[in-house]
Structures are given as C-alpha cells and as structure tokens.
Amino acid sequence: MFPGSGIIRGHPVTHGSTNVTTAVIGLIGVVIGAGMSGLVQWLMTRRSDRLAARTVARVVRYELRQYRELLRFAINAGEWEAAYWISPVRWRENQITLAGACASEEWSQIEMAYSGIEIVDSWHRQLPGSSSAPNVESDPQKSGMPTILSNVEAGMNALNRLAALDSDD
C-alpha cells in the first residue's frame, strides 16, 4: 500500500479501473462512429432521392411542355385534329415519385394539368365493342382546351422548384 493514498499496489481493483475507462472510451467511440455512419448514409440517401425527384420533375415537365405546344397550336389554328394526339407516358411512369416529392400545392397543380390531359386522352380512345372512330370535338374553344392549356402551364410552373429551374419555359 502506498502511504496515505489508500491504494494497494497490484490490487485487481486498481488495474480494473483503467480497463473500465478504456472500455468506456471505446464504447463512446463506437457510438459516435455508428452515429456518424448513419448520418452520412442518411445524407447520401436524401441526396439520391432529391436527384431522382429532380430528374423525374424535368422529364414530366418536358412532357407538359409538349402538350402546351400542341394545345397552343390547336387553339391558334382554331381546329383540333385527332392525329395530333399522343397519350401521356411520363406522367404514368413517374407520378408516384412526384407525389412523394412535391408540396401539396405543387401536386394539386400538376394533378390538375394531367386531369385535363387525361380527359383529352379519353376522347381519343375507341369505346369498347365499338368499330367507329372516336368522336372528338374539332373546335378547341368548345372542348375547353384554353382551360386545359392554362392548367398545363400552371403544372409546368409547379415543377420549377423540384426541377431546379427558374423560368416557365
């Protein structure tokens, strides 16, 4: 025993306290390392999700731009031709990703744009069991295409934030 210290030389409790300290420091290191690893993984997943949402927003926005130009052309020409129409593809492939990435107001505007597009698309489908061609209104004003165009433009603008774009074109 060391005089006045109360510590006995070679006693197992004396050696064990350094082992406990080492173990606690090791445990703290493991916890901090696991936390850092989890944080880095979460940040990488978040970044990957944002990049995927941006890509989807750009692709869907491009499809909306095609509809905008088609609707503008038909409205300016004063006549709609069924042969001009192409059914939406990108929307159907990517709407789930957009639903998770958009704010409520953005989603509402995009959904409204595609609701109009889906209505126009339904005009071009042949009815089941029918052999006659679909009956499509040729006057864009009577069929409500200016309203659909307005909704398509609003949908494009709603995608600007997610697509990381500044303009409406």
Number of domains in the chain: 1
Instruction: Give a yes or no: residue 1 inside a domain.
Output: no
Query: d(Cα 138, Cα 129) in Å, to the nearest integer?
Result: 24
Instruction: Give a yes or no: residue 49 inside a domain.
Output: yes
What DSSP string runs through 95-140?
A: HHHHHHHS-HHHHHHHHHHHHHHHHHHHHTSPPTT--SPP---S-T
The parts of the chain modelled with pLDDT lower than 50 are none
**pLDDT tens digits along 55-79:** 999 999 999 999 999 999 999 999 9
Instruction: Give a yes or no: residue 140 inside a domain.
Output: yes
Task: Give the domain extent around 100.
Answer: 12-163
Instruction: Give a yes or no: residue 47 inside a domain.
Output: yes
For residue 81 the two structure tokens come to 């031709």
Residue type, 47: R
Instruction: Give a yes or no: residue 64 inside a domain.
Output: yes
In this predicted structure, what is the pLDDT of residue 29? 82
Query: d(Cα 19, Cα 22) in Å, to the nearest integer?
Result: 5
Instruction: Give a yes or no: residue 144 inside a domain.
Output: yes
In this predicted structure, what is the pLDDT of residue 114? 95
Instruction: Give a yes or no: residue 2 inside a domain.
Output: no
Residue with tokens 């290191």: 29
Instruction: Give a yes or no: residue 6 inside a domain.
Output: no
In this predicted structure, what is the pLDDT of residue 127? 73
**pLDDT tens digits along 34-55:** 888 777 777 776 777 788 889 9
pTM: 0.71
Query: d(Cα 86, Cα 108) in Å, to the nearest integer?
Result: 23
